[in-house]
Structure 1
């Protein structure tokens, strides 16, 4: 299973459009478009999970720097999320 970061998304791109773009390369496990928790608007990036690493690699190579709705996508393997530093006690 490979988690793929997709950045520089046009704000109008939907999860379905992202799924369509990646499904040309193989099976999609999930698509997660990141949105602002207050406005619900897209933050311009998301993640696509693909179960087959060879298909995921092909998608990264095939889609990186290609235009979608007027913006060139930035596509690469997502790095594991590093633990956030503690902000101390909240009381």
Structure 2
């Protein structure tokens, strides 16, 4: 399982995250998604630690904590949902969205 960390400063680096979460245990992996166009961090990251006990300790200590001028949102990451193809799923629906021939 991994930890979701939201409301991060856009100046945060992977090294910053490693330092903060390293206080609560062994950090196995840090993923800091970046914007495709600007290359800057998107304001959230995912942290994977060695044990669930370490993850729990980090979540309890850091959720709501102020860091780099921002109040962090830290919790267990939820699995990504498959949203499917919105266009195919809604085509021809009774509300008229994406229906063919009706203009």
TM-score, with length taken from structure 2: 0.80
> CA RMSD for the aligned pairs?
1.1
Larger strand fraction of residues: 1
SS at match of 2:33: strand
SS at match of 1:42: coil
Q: Which runs of 4+ in 1 moved over 4 A?
A: none
SS at match of 1:43: coil
Larger relative contact order (Cα-Cα within 8 Å, sequence gap ≥ 6): 1
Aligned-partner Cα distance in 2 for 1:50–1:8: 20
Long gaps (5+) in structure 1: none
Long gaps (5+) in structure 2: 89-103
Alpha-carbon distance, 1:62 to partner: 0.5
Larger helix fraction of residues: 2
Partner of 1:47: 46
